[in-house]
Amino acid sequence: MRLKHYTIAGLFALGTIIPVGAMAADAEAGKAKAAVCAACHGQNGMATIPGYPNLAGQNEQYLKNALTAYKNKQRAGGQAVVMQGQAAALSDEDIANLAAYYASLPAGGGQ
């Protein structure tokens, strides 16, 4: 009986220390959050402005790393100042959700 209580207590304790990044991202929440991104990166993740990157089908971890680096002002050059401003307001959960959304889109915008 005591072992059962310790096991249950351990599982609850473990649940409180799992980092947010380890939780499953929500691509639908990312889609809702991506509305502002569409101005430059397109509705379907295909850039509308020459020189801006396409995000559709991009590697999810790469997108998380890139957005986090912009948020932390660790990326420079190009349009980094614009992206730093956009990323500054994103939570870690927002970043994970956006990355999941863009990674879920077909590369090439489905063409």
Give the contacts of 89 (CB within 8 A, at least 6 positions apart). none
Are the C-beta atoms of residues 40 and 86 closer than 8 Å to each other? no
Q: How far apart are CA 21 and CA 44, in angstroms?
A: 25
Is residue 98 within 8 A of residue 30, CB to CB? The reply is yes
pLDDT on residue 106? 96
Give the pLDDT confidence score for residue 23 in this predicted structure.
Answer: 67
Mean pLDDT computed over every residue of the chain? 85
31-67 pLDDT tens trace = 999 999 999 999 999 998 999 999 999 999 999 999 9
Distance from C-alpha of 50 to C-alpha of 60, rounded to nearest angstrom: 23
Superfamily of domain covering 26-110: Cytochrome c-like domain (1.10.760.10)
CA 39-52-86 angle, to 5 degrees, is: 55
Domain boundaries, the chain: 26-110
